[in-house]
Structure 1
Amino acid sequence: MRLSLLFVCLFGVLSITGLQAQSTETVSPWHSFEKVEFKLNDIPARYIKPRKPLPGNPWVWRAHFPDWHVEMDSILLERGFHIAYINTNDQYGAPKAMMAWDDFYDYLVTKKGFAPKVALEGVSRGGLYVYAWAKRNPAKVSCIYAEAPVCDFKSWPGGKGNAKGDAKSWQQLLAVYGLTEEQALAYDDQPFDNLGGLAAYKVPILHVISLNDKVVPNEENTFKLVERYQRLGGPTTVYSMSRGEQRLDGHHFPIEHLNWWADFIQQNSYPVQKPLAHKPYVQVRNGLPNAYRAITEQKKATVAFLGGSITYNPGWRDKVSRYLQETFPQTEFTFIKAGIPSLGSLPHAFRVEQDVLSKGKIDLLFLEAAVNDRANGTDSLTQLRALEGIVRHARKNNPAVDVVLMEFADPDKSGDFRQGKKPAELLNHERVAAHYQLPSIDLAREVYDRIQARELSWEYDFKDLHPSPFGQEVYFQTIKYLLKASFQAAASVKPLATPAPLHRSNFERGRYVPIQEAKLGSGWKLVDNWKPADGASTRAGFVDRPMLEATGPGATLTLNFAGTAVGIALVSGPDAGEIEYRIDNGPYRKMDLYTQWSHQLHLPWYKLFAGDLSDRKHTLQLRIAPTKNPKSKGNACRIVYFLAN
């Protein structure tokens, strides 16, 4: 059929994470190439086909004004690139537009075989779109080319600086974002904000501008973004166009050296890179049907994050929260941040009641402990009892709670992988997840495999078990993949009943016992508001609070408790000593409270005395030993809570 004739090609109905593609594609000529038009979720979209596609189908994604300055696009089409566009006009890069962009990307990559990395092209207000999407998806962007891009909507259309602005567009933007004027002026995610992840991926950007631009002044837009991006290590190029007629107060100008800019895109996009897929590292199992129903039907959901420092620190956790809010804008979310540095599965099992479940009905719980379980030397059986206990305890709070188990990366686990072994911590997470049919993510293996595939390096990209911005993006993108896959299947998944426990002695009744319940002997005192006198660092929640303290050998106390397990939560600092303890008048056992980190920090530390007692009343006796670790400066024991199950 001749190119000049309009024809229709049937390709059926698509469903990917809720995508609905129109059942027809309309093909028509476009500057001697073929333009394919269709609708995706009722949004007009299109792509231009090269006559001879390059291997891997590299592509350029235009934001807004798809038929403006098409000369460079034509060059790239001749070279074998596809040019794509989805009509989210008048949405100014708002979260609603980003959801449509995610769907468009998934469709073109999954169903049309486009390259996993795309070159973004933003003209004028298109800058709001390309940077909004790139910051959310840095691993999917090969480069950014922008012409006179808007990098701050307060500048345009707001007109709050030196730009003239556009009052009608400004009101439209406020409505799309759902912001008041005051909120818009305080908005903290402009294109030049939060560029750390994009810079960590070294995504190259190129801005072509006019120094005479009064509509989108460079001082408020390009120059501000470029300076920030460079300070973060992002590669940048700015070229000022000075030839030919410049119109619209310098905002419209001819593009010089078109081949240079086409080369920039081609060199950063081809040969096509094909990163490892997320799928092999994600086990969806029964998914998240309960959380999905709470989010979509009740329009109200509580999401909790329970873990150590990788959960406590900002990064993937905040990105997950934002993703949920943007994906389900009509839902009222409550997010509980329950990360405490240095703590693993054992502490989580005893603190989950106070730090998470006491705050109300939890709909979705993210749980991580694998890194600290290795660092803290938690034995395998205790890990299983603790992890299972957390799941069962959470389900007593809300039988419909969904739980995601996450296994983060550290160098020790990479060492196990090199030896062909799966780390015990990961095996335990997966055993619990499989028994309860919970989603899980093996991020430790994913990071290792991506290093082996030379997609990244631990030294320069990930940098630490507390991930760099690059590592935070790796974690977030895989978690987002799990959420999308789970939500896609949620409507057809039936919630499962809680099975019988793996271990009769799991810590599903783990709780804190107040220190005031202990009977103090000589040498112990209750400090109402403890703080260190030695200048060593502390952790929030374990300072400026009541604490039992003894600093001399021979000090004794007694605790009556009921249950199958008993232990203490303490702070272990430079003067941490050794203790002796016994249960029900049995033989005394000795325990060293000093850790490898105690010389610099009063570290939150959890010690279990017994985990498989008969389920009845017991008596714990504890005393300060006359001996101490050679590295310790004293014999101190400072108890924050007693633990019981």
Structure 2
Amino acid sequence: MKKVIGLLFIFLSFSAQTLAQQSINKDFKESKWHGFIRHDFTFDGRNVSVIIPNKSLSSNPWVWKAQFLDWHTDADSILIAQGFYLVFVNADNQYGSPKAVAIWNKFYDFITQKYNLQKKVALEGVSRGGLYVYNWAKQNPEKVACIYAEAPVCDFKSWPAGFGKGIGSKTDWELLKKEYGFANDNEAKLFLNNPIDSLEALAKAKVPVLHTIGLNDEIVPVDENTFLLINKYIRLGGIATVIPCTKGKHTLNGHHFDIETPQIVADFIKYNSINNNVLSSSDFHQLRKGLPNCKISFTQNKQSRVAFLGGSITYNHGWRDSVSVYLTKRFKETTFDFITAGIPSFGSVPDAFRLERDVISKGKIDLLFVEAAVNDQTNGTNAEEQVMAMEGIVRQIRKINPAVEIVFMHFVDPEKMAQYNNGVVPEVIANHEKVASHYQSPSINLAKEVTERINNKEFTWENDFKNLHPSPFGQGVYAKSIITLLEKTFAGHTDADDKIINYSLPEKLNQFSYENGYFLANSLAKIDKNWSIIEKWNPNDGTGTRNDFVDVPMLVCDKIGGKLHLKFKGNVIGVAVAAGKDAGIIEYRVDGKNWKKYDLFTQWSKSLHLPWFCTLENTLTGDEHTLEIRISAEKNAQSLGNTYRIRYFYVNGK
């Protein structure tokens, strides 16, 4: 069931989070609980308490205490000191009813998102709390790390009904019947979903159970509760331990007793919570300076702009939509303008030169998500250009808005998985990380996260993730990880007088980085009679095309010897082409120097007029230059022609 986590996330309803956030903002209080920070607020009108560890474990494990937060706190305190959260929501006088379970379901979704808690929770049920923990666990076995129960009620016919040897409670029995909707005692006796009933799914999930009991308990007799449940559970193959507490004081007819072994209880919860946990997305994040400006802007301003720059994985629907919905719900008073700047097949080089046109021209950007690791590796972008292009993106946008925040994302493909499994960091990720680190921007290594989650047997590539263009499940994995990073950076309080800071630009990693990249129209070239401009070019040959490279002006030549020249200013010159099945070989030179060759035919050209960015020179000196191009008589053996189709030239100015 672990793999369900990612799929559900993409379709997540944020209504519970929105309602609860309203309550938190209104009712939130902070205090101390046994030396730890305590948060109190309301959720759907119910009191909630969250005890915060001084230093949490990376996976944020937690204990959900069903009743009596301040009862027998020794084991809880040990766990909090070791990095666990302790959570309580008051559903008193509901006795683990279906209504209570529905509240718990809704609260679980909210609290795991709000505090970024791990998906498997340790349940703790004291006395009547047994009704809550077992009834919820049976519905949600995949979400339960373990169950610890102290003198738990396992059958309401024993308590509060008192139909067996126990004392019972008439007041509670009447309240319970009303809560469950029973017309009378006989109807209640026919109910078959007490904790002792239908334990098969819980046992199949191998959820470990530990009970501490008093052997002489007259309120919740062990023969009618713990012994009955544990015997059934073991016979079903469940894992169970019972510790009789025989020392110290026993009061309230043996129902209250000292816990002789709180350390054993804490060890039981810790061992099962951590060993059964899925990996934490936070382990694959580099927060660096975080996103302080975004948090202030999103909280204080009424309008913000977020841009998504990348290739097909950004262009396609999925993670991007989930992140947009999250931001809209998280900052509900802010109106967002989301700029979708994903173009299939594009990597860092095209992105650096189209940034002004596709992103910066839209207005002031507060947050930029950028990804290019898949296409940079697939397209064969060399290591030097990977740094030059990614650094160019950062410097370009920060020249326009020095306060803009940037999140680097490294998506997964089979080649990167193989490299990680061989102990090798993919070169493209190392290069992009070099830029992210230099400019202190957060990064998310989704390639490594997916690889390690698959190795952890949380899901499979073949059946779940399926492709470098992720399935809906894979999109959910991406969205969950990205939102986890955002939640962590947005945690804490923002004051009304907090100020946005401007980032200074450090010394460049590469003096030729593409920080002044832009496009030059193909109409600026001086051409001979062999060339022509086709205003709305479309191949109409049954092969694929890409956005921005079809139904647009295209400069075309299919005649051997056809020539053009272009005057430009800058240290980089390149040509963006549509490289289809008839793509030829060009000869080019700059400033009259030696002629060089460039084969435009690619491994994808047989079925796609691929947008291909051909960087011809990127370390030029001086200001003004002249580019000359001619169509070679040579051609790739697989190509059907000598055609050259120019969408635009790209230049890095000074």
TM range (shorter): 0.5 to 0.7
Structure 2 SS opposite 1:23: strand
- Correspondence 1:250-329 to 2 at 5 A: 256-258=192-194, 261-265=198-202, 267-268=204-205, 270=207, 273-329=276-332
Contact 1:45 1:85 (8 Å CA) reproduced = no
Amino acid at match of 2:421: R
Contact 1:581 1:589 (8 Å CA) reproduced = yes
Amino acid at match of 2:387: L
Seen in structure 2, the aligned counterparts of structure 1 residues 266 and 641 have a Cα distance that, compared at 3 Å, is farther
Seen in structure 2, the aligned counterparts of structure 1 residues 602 and 498 have a Cα distance that, compared at 3 Å, is same
Alpha-carbon distance between aligned partners in 1 of 2:310 and 2:114, rounded to the nearest angstrom: 34
Residue number among 473, 479, 496 corresponding to 1:476 in the alignment: 479
Amino acid at match of 2:563: T
Alpha-carbon distance between aligned partners in 1 of 2:639 and 2:543, rounded to the nearest angstrom: 13
Alpha-carbon distance between aligned partners in 1 of 2:633 and 2:583, rounded to the nearest angstrom: 12
Alpha-carbon distance between aligned partners in 2 of 1:511 and 1:18, rounded to the nearest angstrom: 49
Alpha-carbon distance between aligned partners in 2 of 1:622 and 1:355, rounded to the nearest angstrom: 28
The structure showing larger relative contact order (alpha-carbon pairs under 8 Å, at least 6 residues apart) is 2
Contact 1:527 1:547 (8 Å CA) reproduced = yes
Residue number among 452, 456, 461 corresponding to 2:455 in the alignment: 452
State the identity as a percent. 40
Residue number among 63, 66, 78 corresponding to 1:48 in the alignment: 66
Alpha-carbon distance between aligned partners in 1 of 2:400 and 2:501, rounded to the nearest angstrom: 20
Amino acid at match of 1:264: A
CA apart distance, 1:458: 1.5
Contact 2:314 2:320 (8 Å CA) reproduced = yes
Alpha-carbon distance between aligned partners in 2 of 1:447 and 1:108, rounded to the nearest angstrom: 17
User: What residue is the counterpart of 1:581 in the other structure?
Assistant: 588
Deviations 1:231-255 (A, max 9, x none): xxxxxxxxxxxxx9999xxxx9985
Alpha-carbon distance between aligned partners in 1 of 2:298 and 2:98, rounded to the nearest angstrom: 44
* Structure 2 stretches lacking a partner, 5+ long: 1-23, 50-64, 125-131, 146-179, 209-271
Contact 2:536 2:551 (8 Å CA) reproduced = yes
Alpha-carbon distance between aligned partners in 1 of 2:577 and 2:368, rounded to the nearest angstrom: 26
Contact 1:62 1:84 (8 Å CA) reproduced = no
Seen in structure 2, the aligned counterparts of structure 1 residues 21 and 517 have a Cα distance that, compared at 3 Å, is same
User: What residue is the counterpart of 2:31 in the other structure?
Assistant: 23
Mean alpha-carbon deviation: is it higher for 464-473 or for 256-265? 256-265
Deviations 1:478-536 (A, max 9, x none): 11121122223695895532212111100000101011111111311000110013121
Amino acid at match of 2:410: E
Alpha-carbon distance between aligned partners in 1 of 2:588 and 2:643, rounded to the nearest angstrom: 15
1:498 aligns with 2:505: yes
Residue number among 530, 534, 542 corresponding to 1:523 in the alignment: 530
Contact 1:38 1:44 (8 Å CA) reproduced = no
Alpha-carbon distance between aligned partners in 2 of 1:103 and 1:445, rounded to the nearest angstrom: 23
TM-score (norm 1): 0.66
Contact 2:111 2:117 (8 Å CA) reproduced = no
User: What residue is the counterpart of 2:404 in the other structure?
Assistant: 401
Alpha-carbon distance between aligned partners in 2 of 1:19 and 1:467, rounded to the nearest angstrom: 41
Contact 1:17 1:488 (8 Å CA) reproduced = no
Residue number among 366, 384, 388 corresponding to 1:385 in the alignment: 388
Seen in structure 2, the aligned counterparts of structure 1 residues 308 and 23 have a Cα distance that, compared at 3 Å, is same
Structure label with greater radius of gyration = 2
Seen in structure 2, the aligned counterparts of structure 1 residues 580 and 296 have a Cα distance that, compared at 3 Å, is same
CA apart distance, 1:266: 5.6
- Correspondence 1:416-435 to 2 at 5 A: 416-435=419-438
Alpha-carbon distance between aligned partners in 1 of 2:519 and 2:27, rounded to the nearest angstrom: 47
Seen in structure 2, the aligned counterparts of structure 1 residues 105 and 505 have a Cα distance that, compared at 3 Å, is closer
Alpha-carbon distance between aligned partners in 1 of 2:511 and 2:630, rounded to the nearest angstrom: 30
Amino acid at match of 1:70: G
- Correspondence 1:475-624 to 2 at 5 A: 475-488=478-491, 495-624=502-631
Residue number among 356, 359, 362 corresponding to 2:362 in the alignment: 359
- Correspondence 1:80-479 to 2 at 5 A: 101-102=111-112, 106=116, 141=143, 256-258=192-194, 261-265=198-202, 267-268=204-205, 270=207, 273-479=276-482
Deviations 1:415-434 (A, max 9, x none): 21122211111111110011
Amino acid at match of 1:23: S
Contact 1:572 1:603 (8 Å CA) reproduced = yes
Structure 1 SS opposite 2:565: strand
Alpha-carbon distance between aligned partners in 1 of 2:619 and 2:365, rounded to the nearest angstrom: 28
Contact 2:116 2:487 (8 Å CA) reproduced = no
Seen in structure 2, the aligned counterparts of structure 1 residues 268 and 73 have a Cα distance that, compared at 3 Å, is farther
CA apart distance, 1:299: 2.3
Contact 1:142 1:269 (8 Å CA) reproduced = no
CA apart distance, 1:617: 0.8
Alpha-carbon distance between aligned partners in 1 of 2:88 and 2:317, rounded to the nearest angstrom: 32
Alpha-carbon distance between aligned partners in 2 of 1:537 and 1:465, rounded to the nearest angstrom: 19
Contact 2:364 2:401 (8 Å CA) reproduced = yes
Contact 2:118 2:280 (8 Å CA) reproduced = no
* Structure 1 stretches lacking a partner, 5+ long: 1-15, 27-36, 75-82, 116-120, 144-243
CA apart distance, 1:70: 2.6
User: What residue is the counterpart of 2:236 in the other structure?
Assistant: none
Contact 1:388 1:508 (8 Å CA) reproduced = yes
Deviations 1:381-434 (A, max 9, x none): 000000000000011121111101111111111121122211111111110011
Amino acid at match of 1:280: D
Seen in structure 2, the aligned counterparts of structure 1 residues 313 and 45 have a Cα distance that, compared at 3 Å, is same
Seen in structure 2, the aligned counterparts of structure 1 residues 38 and 490 have a Cα distance that, compared at 3 Å, is closer
Structure 1 SS opposite 2:66: strand
Deviations 1:525-580 (A, max 9, x none): 00011001312111122111111011121111111110000011111111111111
